Amino acid sequence: MEAKVLVLEDESSIRSFVRVNLKRSGYQVIEAETGEQAIEAVKNEPTISVALLDVMLPTSCSGFDVCRELRKTYPHIGIIMLTAKGQDLDKVEGFESGADDYVTKPFSPVELVARVKALHRRMSAAIAVQETTDNDMQHSGPFSISMNTRKFYKNNELIELTPTEFSIIKLFMDSPNKSISRDDILNEIWGRHYMGDLKIVDVNIRRIRQKIEDQPSQPQYIETVWGYGYLWKKE
């Protein structure tokens, strides 16, 4: 079955360009011109695996608004933001809204399709249901993680994570009390050929801390190793 990709872009020429290249790569494309149309499209097509969202839209519902709504309602969808060249604030806001990646305009079809493929692979792995085993649950302090259900708990209370956040947590829990560099996190989660910004790691860590730390500004579980990366502290 063809994987479905939502393309939210108000400029018809860019939307057509994206559609043609994604279809050539075997994807089924669902198009939207406005944020409202995009949200409605996902409601009608719940099997959409990746959403490409343009930041600037002609209506009051921006790409960031759509990203936040999709992330809240459909936590397992992959989201790539399309941002203007040099707009670093857009990238940061996109990540903090729940985006998994971004592509800067103007972009090449090769880069865009590569980003979609990489994200789709991560999303597919994240929603794959494995056979239940007695050793399915992995524990670390107050936390537990299930690879079978792809769920994460703190003190037996479910914490909603995006697929990317889940993968980062699993990476940490597999290497407790061990410093992991930003480069290693980037390579492991986004792939060795990722062409984006290293700061995507820091933004995702900040999002995770907001969800799992009692005091995110004074983290006790994900420690910063200054000038290097992060450490998952297991007491």
Nearest to 147 by CA among 168, 126, 124, 162: 126
pTM of the predicted protein model: 0.71
Confidence tier at 143 by pLDDT (50, 70, 90): very high
Residue 1 has pLDDT above 90, yes or no: no
Question: What string of DSSP letters covers 168-194?
Answer: HHHHHHTSTT-EEEHHHHHHHHH-TT-
| pLDDT value of position 35 | 93
pLDDT value of residue 223: 96
Write down all domains in the chain, each with its CATH number in brackets: 4-127 (3.40.50.2300), 137-232 (1.10.10.10)
Cα–Cα distance between 109 and 20 in angstroms, integer? Answer: 9
Task: Determine the pLDDT at residue 88.
Answer: 64
Triad 193, 197, 218: Cα angle to 5°: 120
CA–CA separation, 135 and 107 (whole Å): 44
More confident residue, 130 or 106: 106
Question: Which burial class, exposed, middle or buried, applies to 131 when counting CB atoms under 10 A from its CB (0-12, 13-18, 19+)?
Answer: exposed
pLDDT of residue 215: 93
Which of residues 69 and 85 earns the better pLDDT score? 69
Percent of the chain with pLDDT over 70: 89
Q: In which order are the strands placed within the sheet that holds 151-154?
A: 137-140, 143-146, 151-154, 157-159
User: Which of 16-20, 88-92, 102-106 shows the lowest mean pLDDT across its residues?
Assistant: 88-92
Predicted pLDDT at 21: 94
Between residues 98 and 180, the one the model is more confident about: 180
